[in-house]
Amino acid sequence: MRTRTLLALAGAATALTVAAAVPSSATGGAVLTTGGAGGTAAAVGDTLTAPLAAGTSATLYSSATGTSGVSCRTSQFTATVADNPAAPGTATESVTGHSFDAGGCTSNVTGVLGVSSIVIDNLPYTATVTSAGVLTVSPPGGSTIQTTVKLRTLLGTITCVYRAESLTGTADNGDSSINFTNQRFTRYSGSSLCFANGYFTAKYAPVTDAGAPVYVN
């Protein structure tokens, strides 16, 4: 099943972006490093990637406490380092891709037979990560973070479009991960089978730069 470009969460989400971090106490080095906290600085222009953490799924549920909605077992984001100043500080990335394999996605919404695709629109997004491990994903000026979900039903394919002003996540150096929890999207368009709100949760790990885990300082 082909992988479709999206986020983030992811984005994402897609989505979504940078490295890990329970922030380290290192100072003087860069915010984003490889080889460990306080290690080699990630260079501007480097490409960072991360799949979903092993054994986890990315979910878009109809409520923050429910389990009704869409779940995907396979997702990945891609981002480019745009600025990586000395720590403590804030690094900046451009989120250029966020993909979900629709073949690994399921839906338990009544009347829905399956998931045709999930796409994050309006890329690239800007992602910032602070030395404290706070990750923020923002759309281009005048735009929104938009997720388009196509679902198969007995009556044919329906399209559900959800929007968010921004996404906030956390980074953890323990496993070089990025975590998004119950990030709220509001339905912009779609039939009554499209739930009114979508809450996005996903853990991406490890975040890597040319195969090396990335840390936040």
Residue type, 170: T
From first CA to last CA, the distance across the chain in angstroms is: 38
Q: What is the pLDDT of residue 28?
A: 54
Q: What is the pLDDT of residue 157?
A: 97
The tens digit of pLDDT for each residue in 35-63 reads: 999 999 999 999 999 999 999 999 999 99
Q: Is the dihedral of CA 97, 101, 104, 106 positive or negative?
A: positive
State phi, psi for 104 to the nearest 5 degrees: -105, 10
Q: Mean pLDDT of successive 10-residue segments in the chain (217 residues)?
A: 36 38 54 96 98 98 95 97 98 97 95 96 97 97 96 95 98 98 98 93 98 98
Q: What is the pLDDT of residue 73?
A: 97
Q: What is the pLDDT of residue 14?
A: 38
What are the DSSP calls for 139-203, one per residue?
PPTT--EEEEEEEEETTEEEEEEEEES-EEEEEETTTTEEEEEEEEEEEEE--TTS-SEEEEEEE
Q: What is the pLDDT of residue 27?
A: 47
Q: CA dist 186 to 65, 101, 125, 136, Å?
A: 16, 23, 18, 18
